[in-house]
């Protein structure tokens, strides 16, 4: 049990922050958000600092979750990026009536990215990818009074749905071709059979949409233009770092 808390400390701290923000949203009244934003930034700083202590290497849940010093460093870099974006968005969020929801959605995507980084099989990777991707559509629509923000969210959720379908279908075919979805097992099972090659193409197409790689990048400009500036920063930096 102690090993569980140490290996997953970054994910657990992030989950705790999300629940704290949720409870705050349910119990808070309208008013000055300066103190709220200050405390959120303090919590994000604490989360960043904790990433540099008690670094261990190990697996959890069989082979689904793995962490080591390098993976912990990658997560700490993402934590730092989110803290910088939070500081950048301070003045904007101070006037926004849904500031707690912004942080809940942003940290939920960050939690999904953490699981992606620590995943050791395709299923865990896919679940982390979806946890990271779905809240991004809500963030793109965070300027609720702006029509272009709603259009950005619609374009993103449509392309994300297509990408998820390609990716999940490719993972299914990959399992049918190799009998495994573990990354270590896939390395041993690589072959030149038609089913394996087709599965690889489907997975590659899904990833291409997700990371807006050419020629799957046509949605990117409209979404980046329509989303609020802090959200566009998050899209273009944090979500691409993974």
The ranges of the chain with pLDDT < 70 are 1-2, 29-32, 240-242
pLDDT at position 2 = 54
Crossing angle for the helix pair 9-27 and 69-88, nearest 10 degrees?
Answer: 30
- What's the pLDDT at 27? 76
Q: For position 32, what pLDDT does the model report?
A: 61
Q: Can you give the length of the chain in residues?
A: 242
* Nearest CA-CA partner of 161 in 137, 197, 128: 137
Whole-angstrom distance, CA of residue 75 vs CA of residue 11: 10
> pTM of the entire structure?
0.88
Residues in Cβ contact with 52 at an 8 Å cutoff, skipping those fewer than 6 apart: 76
Q: What is the pLDDT of residue 107?
A: 92
Neighbours of 26 (CB within 10 A): 8
| 81 vs 233: CA distance, rounded Å | 10
Can you tell me whether residue 59 is helix, strand or coil?
strand
Of 151, 41, 28, 156, whose CA–CA distance to 89 is shortest?
Answer: 41
The Cα 36–Cα 15 span in angstroms is: 18
Q: How crowded is residue 58: how many other Cβ atoms within 10 Å of its Cβ?
A: 13
Q: What string of H, E and C letters represents the secondary structure of 172-187? A: HHHHHHHCCCEHHHHH
Residue appearing with tokens 């990026």: 81
Alpha carbons 127 and 99: distance in angstroms, whole number: 26
């Amino acid at each position: 049990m102690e090993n569980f808390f140490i290996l997953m400390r970054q994910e657990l701290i992030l989950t705790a922050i999300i629940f704290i923000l949720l409870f705050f949203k349910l119990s808070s009244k309208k008013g000055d958000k300066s103190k709220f934003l200050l405390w959120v930034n303090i919590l994000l700083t604490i989360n960043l600092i904790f990433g540099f202590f008690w670094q261990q290497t190990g697996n959890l849940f069989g082979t689904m979750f793995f962490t080591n010093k390098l993976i912990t460093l990658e997560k700490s870099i993402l934590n730092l990026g989110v803290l910088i974006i939070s500081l950048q968005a301070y003045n904007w969020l101070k006037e926004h009536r849904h500031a707690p929801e912004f942080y809940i959605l942003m940290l939920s995507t960050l939690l999904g990215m953490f699981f992606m980084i620590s995943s050791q099989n395709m299923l865990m990777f896919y679940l982390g990818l979806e946890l990271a991707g779905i809240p991004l559509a809500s963030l793109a629509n965070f300027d609720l009074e702006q029509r272009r923000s709603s259009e950005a969210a619609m374009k993103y959720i449509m392309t994300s749905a297509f990408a998820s379908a390609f990716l999940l279908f490719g993972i299914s075919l990959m399992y049918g071709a190799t009998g495994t979805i573990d990354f270590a097992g896939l390395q041993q099972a690589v072959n030149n059979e038609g089913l394996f090659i087709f599965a690889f193409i489907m997975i590659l197409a899904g990833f291409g949409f997700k990371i807006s790689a050419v020629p799957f990048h046509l949605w990117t400009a409209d979404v980046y233009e329509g989303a609020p500036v802090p959200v566009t920063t998050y899209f273009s930096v944090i979500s691409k770092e993974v």
